[in-house]
Amino acid sequence: MRRNGRGTGGNAGGNAPADGAVAPPPGARARGRSLLVATALVCLAGVAGAAAVPGAAWAAPAPPRSLEEIHKEVEGLYRQAETATEAYNTANEAQREQEKSIVDIARSAAEAEKRMDRLKGQAGALARAQYRDGTMPPRARLLLSSSPESYLEGAALAHKGEAATRGLIAQAAATQKALDGYAKAAGERWKVLDAERKKKESAKKEIEAKLAAAKALESRLEEKEKERLRQIEEERARREQAKWLASDAVKGVTLKTSGAATGDGGQAVAFATAQIGKSYVWGATGPDTYDCSGLTLKAWGAAGRAIPRTSQEQWRQLPKVEVKDMRPGDLIIYFADASHVGMYVGDGTMVHAPRPGRQITRAGAGSMPILGVVRPGASGGGRG
């Protein structure tokens, strides 16, 4: 009974260990509570410390960026989009050339098919004629001729017939070879066309991504901030223009006025300046919107001269002139990758389609880094 009483008394606190468990030593519960409290304090201190440490999970938000920083990022995105636009235009032109080439190949193949049909018809007619003449071969009939005269006449006719047959066979073989060549060429052209289409699609996706990112940045700005952004662009352009005018490239050179343009150049300038105020749209060639090379393409087209579609090809194919010698109508190619172009209109200025969200405008010829100048009217590039 004493043992039962001790057992009952041991359960009096309601915290006796389960059957088979070892009871904690005296004072253990108090120490456990102290440990829990200490652990909680350490955790709270850690959280407070994380909030105070830069880069931690609860870091304070970064300070707002200046308009100058936003301008730099926006301009960078538009520059990348412009580079991709020129890649798109180049791939687009290459695709058109390949499509035209495939059409030409198909036309030539169709003509060869008609020629082959005619040759087959002639061969069939020759075979039928020989069949109607009898089963004896022509040479055997010659050997059995009744007189030397008939033999000689027959020999001449047989020779002509054999020559005609050989010619027919040769023509048919050449036509078949041409057909095989057209089929091979068409297959190769289709491969190139497919590659150009993929380049075009890739460039288009890049353009759309860059433009969307730039527009998203600008859309978060208030109207007064957007206006200030435009002012920052204009201030930067003025600084670059002043620096260019003072540089060795044009120092001491009298920049030619619009009156110095040639006939063709004057027409090109007149067209370009008439487009001032129209919006930039990538890939556009008018009449209501243009991209940079679309404007120069149409301006020189209005002057009666065909030039390459893209700024890179304009730079690569058209005759180059020194910056100090440029005259109205010349094309100024900008940036190391030749991704932008404007038309010189005299007095140190040019007309260009700047970028999405902007309109065709007149600006300082040196407001952007100049790669070089080309002249569609120069010797080697057409009429002067």
Q: Domain ranges in the chain?
A: 67-219, 251-374
pLDDT per position in the chain (384 positions), as tens?
444 444 444 444 444 444 444 455 555 455 555 544 444 444 444 444 444 444 445 555 556 677 778 878 888 888 888 888 777 888 888 888 888 888 888 888 888 888 888 877 877 776 676 666 555 455 555 555 556 555 555 555 555 666 767 777 788 788 888 788 878 888 888 888 888 888 888 878 888 888 888 888 777 778 888 788 788 888 888 999 999 988 887 765 566 654 466 789 999 999 999 999 999 988 899 999 999 999 999 999 999 999 999 999 999 999 999 998 899 999 999 999 899 999 999 989 999 999 888 899 999 999 999 999 999 976 544 333
Domain 67-219 is found in CATH 3.90.228: no
Tell me whether residue 43 is one of the annotated catalytic residues.
Answer: no
Sign of the torsion angle spanned by Cα atoms 93, 96, 98, 104: negative
The two most distant CA atoms of the chain are separated, in Å, by 160
CATH topology of domain 251-374: endopeptidase fold (from Nostoc punctiforme) (3.90.1720)
* Per-residue CA distances from 273 to 207, 265, 329, 350, 368 (Å): 27, 12, 11, 9, 19
Catalytic member of 43, 71, 159, 292: 292
- Closest CA relative to residue 369, chosen from 335, 342, 341: 335
In whole angstroms, give the CA distance from residue 275 to residue 310: 19
**How many CB atoms are closer than 10 A to CB 313?**
17
Which pTM does this prediction carry?
0.58
Secondary structure element (H or E) that encloses residue 132, with its range:
helix 67-132
Tell me whether residue 340 is one of the annotated catalytic residues.
Answer: yes
Cβ(122)–Cβ(170) below 8 Å: no
The CA dihedral of 163, 166, 167, 168, to the nearest 10 degrees, is 120
